[in-house]
Amino acid sequence: MRIRPNRSATLRLFGTDAPLYRLAAHSTATWYNNNKGMAQKDKIYPQVRNALIADGWTITHDPYKLPVGIRIAKIDLAATRSALGTRAIGAAQGARTIAVEIKSFRSGSKLFDLEHAIGQYLLYKSLLVRRDPQRTLYLAVSHKIARTVFRGMAQAPMQDYGIQLLVIDLETERIVEWID
């Protein structure tokens, strides 16, 4: 794996301009920052958003911002639904609120993407417990990633850390499964 500087983007670091780096693994490069210093939305973001709306959810925050000291963490989406949709939610009759972190798994290394997704999920889950405890956090992934990554190498972390998945069919833009 080679690390190459992106000559068109610079990052202000200790008063000098330093190149912004990207990993050049395989044919897919993952950018962790754009020229404005903000993270970019995942490639499957529109399909996940559309699937939630089609399932009866109302998007309340895009993104959902949570303070972390002097910084702001941004979960991709937050939504609410007062009526039961395609999924029965026990005996709860009131409004249900969720936060959704979307992951595409496109870096070329599924293990690297899984490590990043789990770390981000656990950070956001910890913040939500303290700031918005009634909101449930889900990690949204494509049906293909759910079948390959989350039915294989991610089984143990899912059970150990209580990771909840929202599985999306990208072609139909519909929710396939909620995995609690």
pLDDT tens digits, 81-118 = 975 554 544 444 468 999 999 999 888 888 999 999 99
Nearest CA to 43 among 126, 113, 92, 115? Answer: 113
Residue 66 has pLDDT above 60, yes or no: yes
Residue 126, classed as helix, strand or coil, is helix
Domains and CATH numbers, the chain: 1-37 (no CATH), 45-179 (3.40.1350.10)
Instruction: Judge contact between 102 and 77, C-beta under 8 A.
Output: yes
pLDDT value of residue 176: 94
Residue 75 pLDDT grade (very low, low, confident, very high; cuts 50, 70, 90): very high
Hunting for tokens 């850390």 — which residue is that? 161
pLDDT value of residue 4: 52
pLDDT tens digits, 22-42 = 333 333 333 344 444 456 777
pLDDT value of residue 8: 47
Q: What is the DSSP letter of 40?
A: P
| Distance in angstroms (rounded) separating the CA atoms of residues 55 and 128 | 23
Question: How many whole angstroms from its chain centre is CA 36?
Answer: 20
Question: What value, to the nearest 5°, has the Cα angle with vertex 73 and ends 5 and 121?
Answer: 90
pLDDT tens digits, 114-172 = 999 999 999 999 999 999 999 999 999 999 988 888 887 788 888 888 999 999 999 99
pLDDT value of residue 83: 59
pLDDT value of residue 30: 37
